[in-house]
Amino acid sequence: MAAGRRSDLSSLAFTGGMSLLALLTLVLLVAPTLVVVIVSFTDGFSLKFPPPGYSLRWYRELIDASQLHFAAWNSVQVALITTLLSVLLGVSGALAIARSPAASARVLDSLFMSPLVLPALAFGFAALMTFSAVGWTVSTTTLVIGHTVVCVPYVIRTTTAALAQMDPALLESSASLGASRLYTFRRVTLPLIRPGVLAGGFIAFMSSFDNVPVSLFLRDARTDMLPIRMWQDLEGRLDVTIAALSSVIVIVTLLMMVVMERAVGLSRRLRQ
């Protein structure tokens, strides 16, 4: 009896300890985002928390910050073109390797996924050296190329996962009914993998918009990118305008996540 009570106690202590640690972790995950949003409404000049008073002054500053607007627009443009290119290249690549029995398909898979773990900063520098060796100056094109290399793995991953979940019997029956490969792709495969492709495209977009290490080497003053502008501003001085901008980015990200969750079940696809 006594032993039973002791094990109940230790079990309770274990569950309690784990739950407390989990709660702490959740707070640590939410707190930073929340703090930035709150601090952005300060009426003071510093990032003091809690703020001495509240106002919208830093959002008004943000409206006039033409340098940030310029960088933001560049970033959106590069991210859009990068996403388009990543989806086109990534989906055809994923189709080819996903169900292929060939050994070369595994090699290609490793090649396509490697930019995900290798240091992007080293790649950014290597790309700059290569472009300048062949006489290309940095431009939106070089940025898009560099971003696509590091964003394509996301599309490959979600598309391959969606293809793996597809029942091959569907393709077989479509073929046995006389449908051509292209017709089957348009009418069977594509509708079934569309959520996976969209989720991959969304992650590719966010990751391009957020990219620093590649942009660092492949942009110049004409192609200033938002995360770099923010980073350089933060290295110089801690500006509250950046807090306002950050909170705008957080809220837009949050809204897009909700939309994507509803549309394609984003969280399920991120965990595959």
Partner 1 sequence: MNPTLPVTAYPLRLAAPLAGFMVLFFVAPMLMLLWVSGYADPGMTQWGSLASWAKMFDAFGLGVLADTLWLGVQVTLLSLVLGYALAWTYLRLPPRLQPLVIFIVMLPLLTSVVVRTFAWIVILGRQGIVNAALLDLGWIDEPLKLLYTRSGLVVALANVQLPLMVLPLITALQRIDPNLADASASLGAGAWRTFLRVTVPLSLPGVVAGCLLTFAAAITAFISQSLIGGGQMLFMPMYLYQQASSLSNYPFAAAIGLTFLVAVLVCVSAFNALGRLSRGYAAA
Taking only Cα atoms into account, the Rg of the chain, rounded to an integer number of angstroms, comes to 24
Question: Is 56 a binder of partner 1 (CB under 8 A)?
Answer: no
Question: Is the separation of the CB atoms in 43 and 55 below 8 Å?
Answer: yes
Distance, CA of 147 to CA of 131 (rounded, Å): 14
Considering only 68, 149, 198, 264, the residue that binds partner 1 (CB under 8 A) is 149
Size of the site for partner 1 (CB under 8 A): 100
Considering only 119, 187, 259, 263, the residue that binds partner 1 (CB under 8 A) is 119
Considering only 43, 45, 56, 100, the residue that binds partner 1 (CB under 8 A) is 100
Taking the least distance from each CB to partner 1, the nearer of 149 and 264 is 149
Distance, CA of 129 to CA of 140 (rounded, Å): 17
Q: CA angle 132-111-223, nearest 5°?
A: 35
Question: Is the separation of the CB atoms in 14 and 28 below 8 Å?
Answer: no
Question: Is 35 a binder of partner 1 (CB under 8 A)?
Answer: yes
* Shortest separation between residue 55's beta carbon and partner 1, angstroms: 17
Question: Is 133 a binder of partner 1 (CB under 8 A)?
Answer: yes
Restricted to residues 227-246, the positions that interact with partner 1 (CB under 8 A) are 227, 230-231, 234-235, 238, 242-243, 246
CA torsion 153-272-32-54 (nearest 10°) is 90
**Containing H/E element for 87?**
helix 66-98
Considering only 45, 69, 106, 114, the residue that binds partner 1 (CB under 8 A) is 114
Question: Is 140 a binder of partner 1 (CB under 8 A)?
Answer: no
